[in-house]
Structure 1
Amino acid sequence: MTDARATALEDLRSTLTGTLVLPGEPEYDAARSPWNLGVDQRPAAVATPADVADVQAILATARATGLGVTTQPNGHGATDALEGVLLVRPSAFDEITVDVEGRTLRVGAGVNWGAALQALDGTGLIGLAGSNPEVNVVGLALNGGHSMFSRLHGLTARSIVAVELVDASGEVRRVTDADDAELAWALRGGGGLFGVVTAIELELFEADVLFGGGLVFPSESAVPVISAAFALARDVPELGLDVGMMQFPDLPVMPPHLRGRVVASVGLVHVGDEASGRALAERLLAVAEPIANSLTAFTIGSLAAVAAEPTDPMPTADFGASIGSDDDGFAAAFVEGFLAGAAHGLTRAGLRAMGGATAEELGSELSAVGAVHAPLLLNAGVLLMGPAVDPVVALQPLRDLDARYGVAGGVPTMLGPGPLSLAYPPEVLERLAAVKQRVDPSGVIRSNRAITG
């Protein structure tokens, strides 16, 4: 780092109400650490602004020194491309306001879905939340977002009503369709390229009763169970379904019925009563006897228990793809591919059922993330448990599966690391680039996902 930049960052620290951590300081490693501990990002500094004025000061310093600015609430989707970049952690922006009458949720940029869902409990309203309570509300929405409610109500980005941000020039803006329809379009799926977001407002939906949970089956039943789940998804397009395979380590901390096993799983979310939900689940239970069954009536505050995903950061290598088939042949190929990868350390592979509202064309003027015509989105990961695990080898069977069954397009949040060009066609990328040029011609604002690679 040049002396001029170092001096500018020290001056910035003296003006902030929040904090700024620099390389070499004791707090730096913890401050820079992303959600995926396998990513070694080394920003020029890590800022935790206390308020909007702090954000403006951070951007002013970046403009004056040629540094970039990127925002990572929790570090999801992080890459190691942060040289010469100021990393912003918006944890102090922790507002949560539920407008029951107006059916909107307003949250600060530091709020995770777990806290937001707790605030929704008892309101009779649901938001298009992610499956993990530690996923940030703003991050999920800006990057497209897929929810177990998306087949009923659409992708999370499409529920954005308003975004409050500080743009690259330091101007504080509230962006809606009414005052800047093109920027609002870009924010619905274009990620964090257009400003430092401080708050977001999302549309909420009525849901008085919910039913769902997880079913776990032995790997011997995987093909017929997954085929049955695909058929259920086709027949009931509003039902949330997450189908997958998982390899559990042979460790004493694992539950005895899962320790060292490869299993198939089906997560199910039904907006409706228990009786109608169990009738749908019976189509899966008739195929094979599960080794675990957590199906139950629940309230929105307990949504995260359906997926029961790990909530602690860990080192992983991830892969995602859009899949163009959901027939019995693909079910068999998916299981075969997972088992081949599991022999080399593949940990998990999930398939989110699409269709329903995710496939509806709402018009390009509304949202950068458009209709998804692929029936399935694949997302897989390898837990990097030591040098013996080679993620390239472990993920290769799924890459081969993608080569056979993959299709273009998708949702950025479900496609693993990489640019927006993995998800969007050229005309959308060109439009996003035009918005970027208008609101940030100097490229001060950076994102985990560039428009093109």
Structure 2
Amino acid sequence: MTASHDSAPIDLAPFERLRTDLRGTLLLPGDEGYDAARAPWNLSVEQRPAAIAEPADVDDVRAIVLAAREAGLGVTTQPNGHGASDGLDGVVLVRPRRLDELHVDAEARVLRAGAGVNWGRALAALDGTGLIGLAGSNPEVSVVALAIAGGQSMFSRRYGLTARSIIAVEMVDAAGEVRRVTDADDGELLWALRGGGGLFGVITAIELALHPGDTLYGGGLVFPAESATEVLSAAFALARDEPELGLDIGMMRFPDAPVFPPHLRGRVVATVGLVHVGDEVTGQAFADRLLAVAEPIANALTAFTIGQLAAVAAEPVDPMPTADFGAAVGPLDQAFARDFAEAFVRGADRGLTRCSIRAMGGAIADELGAELSVIGAVHAPGLLSSGALLLDPSVDPEAALAPLRELAARYPAEGMVPSFLGMQTSLADAYGPEVLERLEAVKHRLDPEGLIRSNRPLR
């Protein structure tokens, strides 16, 4: 059997043979279920891989990698499809959902998760331990994917970026060899995996350090757009004064849809997400600084457990078509707050849906141990993340995002986390030339033929 790749045939015979031996599943173009399996989380990305494999174990992963090598194809991994950005022409797509091992060692403060484990399940397993993992705000994101892409958590200002909490990575390399990577046996490779993404092998499991957090308080506040500049300014000031407090500060336009309350449909609002590792009284005192500025439309602040983090963040989890843009920005002062609010309103008139600034600083900028990870110490004051929903075909995504691109150009900052980069970006948009050269050296040592493809390439 052959398939087309840039007008040249692809020999899929190795996969036809593999199909009978695999404990997991393998789908080729034309198979029932192929179209559903190839869809990423961002439905605006059209990807048509040469094959889609769902391994049942590490031996399956080895067999898939070796079959791809024999067929002259690349290999990329997408647990759920977050971060997908191209068509995957001539690439085998690995969905590691059945690699679902999960173990919490509370005494050692270590989380071990298979590549198919999402943060929602991992955090639920931490309930009652008094420990927290450096999760993102979306429960459907893979533990592995967030960590190797940098991973800015609402706990990161207290405990650092997720990538720097990686203790060990287990993977199958481009030669089909199974590796357990630690600082002791290959510190240079683990340095690259701490923020360099999926360039170096098919990861099967990861081990992350856990941190104390038996009492948590936080949630979301929503304010009318008329108070946006004042609220944003107050939130930025709070971020400067409290470097361990998790803050996500932004604006959004609610879609005019029945799923939302009538008083919010189609409305532009300012939003502040707050997460405090500590008691309710202290956390509420932080929030009171914002509540003194304006009356909120909605107040969802509450004491919560680590397993309830997703409900506190309340991010959408269903696949949808979007266009996004991310950038490092600063300084986060009153002038920026004013210009940010104005830029968002202009973008919202063109279809922009949301934009937030994740406050940085605190442990994120800690130089101690920074040399052990490619992500290092990040000194940008804030990371901008934005998106335009593309449900309406009349929305021009470039026009919707243009005001925020202009804003980022006026307020540039050094340092970026790859997980905050938008579509059609590479690691060159996050790291400087010397870091890229060092990453390339690791890539050449592990995979000189470029068999393993990342959802975010080096350049």
TM-score, normalised to structure 1's length? Answer: 0.98
Residue 365 of structure 1: how far off its partner (Å)? 3.3
Give 1:364 deviation, angstroms.
5.0
Aligned length: 452
Where does residue 448 of structure 1 map in the other structure? Answer: 455
Are 2:109 and 2:211, in contact at CA under 8 Å, matched by a contact in 1?
A: yes
Asked if the contact 1:182–1:365 (Cα under 8 Å) also holds between the matched residues in 2, the reply is no
SS in 2 for 1:158: helix
Native 8 Å contact 1:268 1:306 kept in 2: no
Q: Deviations over 1:142-188 (max 9, x none)?
A: 00001000000000000000000011111111100010000010000
Q: Does 1:424 align with 2:431?
A: yes
Report the counterpart of residue 149 of structure 1 in structure 2: 155
Amino acid at match of 2:178: V
Provide the C-alpha distance between the structure 2 equivalents of 1:222 and 1:162, rounded to a whole number of angstroms: 43
The CA distance in 2 between the partners of 1:26 and 1:386, in whole Å, is 29
What pairs with 1:377-388 in structure 2 (closer than 5 Å)?
377-388=383-394
Q: How does 1:102-121 map to 2 (within 5 A)?
A: 102-121=108-127
Q: Distance in 1 between matches of 2:260 and 2:286?
A: 30
Question: Does residue 246 in structure 1 map to residue 214 in structure 2?
Answer: no
Give the distance between the partners of 1:37 and 1:368, measured in 2 at CA: 30
Q: SS state of the match for residue 178, structure 1?
A: helix
Please give the secondary structure, in 2, of the residue aligned with 1:297.
Answer: strand
3-state DSSP class of the match of 1:341?
Answer: helix
Q: Distance in 1 between matches of 2:203 and 2:444?
A: 18
Q: More deviation in 72-81 or 124-133?
A: 72-81
1:223-269, CA deviations, whole angstroms, 9 ceiling, x for partnerless residues? 00000000000000000000010101222221123111110000000
Which residues of 2 match residues 51-70 of structure 1 at below 5 A?
51-70=57-76
Q: Counterpart amino acid of 1:203?
A: A
**1:107 shift after superposition:** 0.5
| CA separation of 1:441 and 1:156: change in aligned 2, threshold 3 A | same
1:438 aligns with 2:445: yes
Q: What is the CA-CA distance between 1:297 and the residue it aligns to?
A: 0.6
Return the alpha-carbon distance in structure 2 between the equivalents of residues 74 and 313 of structure 1. Answer: 10
Preserved CA contact (<8 Å) 1:257 1:291: no
Alpha-carbon shift at residue 306 of structure 1 (Å): 2.1
Report the alpha carbon displacement of residue 403 of structure 1 after superposing the two structures with TM.
1.2
Deviation at 1:387, TM superposition (A): 1.6
Deviations 1:262-285, CA, capped at 9 Å, x for gaps? 100000000000001101110000
1:324: Cα distance to partner?
2.2
Residue in structure 1 matched with residue 186 of structure 2 by the alignment? 180
Q: Does 1:311 align with 2:321?
A: no
Please provide the CA RMSD for this pair.
1.0
- How many Å separate the matches in 2 of 1:100 and 1:355? 28
Query: Sequence identity of aligned pairs in percent?
Result: 70
Q: Is the 1:409–1:425 Cα contact (8 Å) retained in structure 2?
A: no
Matches of 2:258 and 2:79, distance apart in 1: 33
5+ residue gaps in structure 1?
Answer: none
In the alignment, the residues of structure 1 paired with residue 367 and residue 456 of structure 2 have an alpha-carbon distance, to the nearest angstrom, of: 24
Secondary structure of residue in 2 paired with 1:281? helix
Give the distance between the partners of 1:364 and 1:300, measured in 2 at CA: 27
Contact 2:144 2:205 in 1 (8 A): yes
Letter in 1 for 2:99: F
- Residue identity matched to 1:274: E
Cα deviations by residue, 1:186-207 (Å, 9 ceiling, x for unpaired): 0000000011000000000011
Equivalents in 2 of 1:365, 1:355: separation in Å? 18
Alignment gaps of 5+ in structure 2: none
Distance 2:197 2:186 in 1: 17
1:411 aligns with 2:397: no
The superposition leaves residues 297-317 of structure 1 with CA deviations (integer Å, 9 ceiling, x where unpaired) of 110001112220001000000
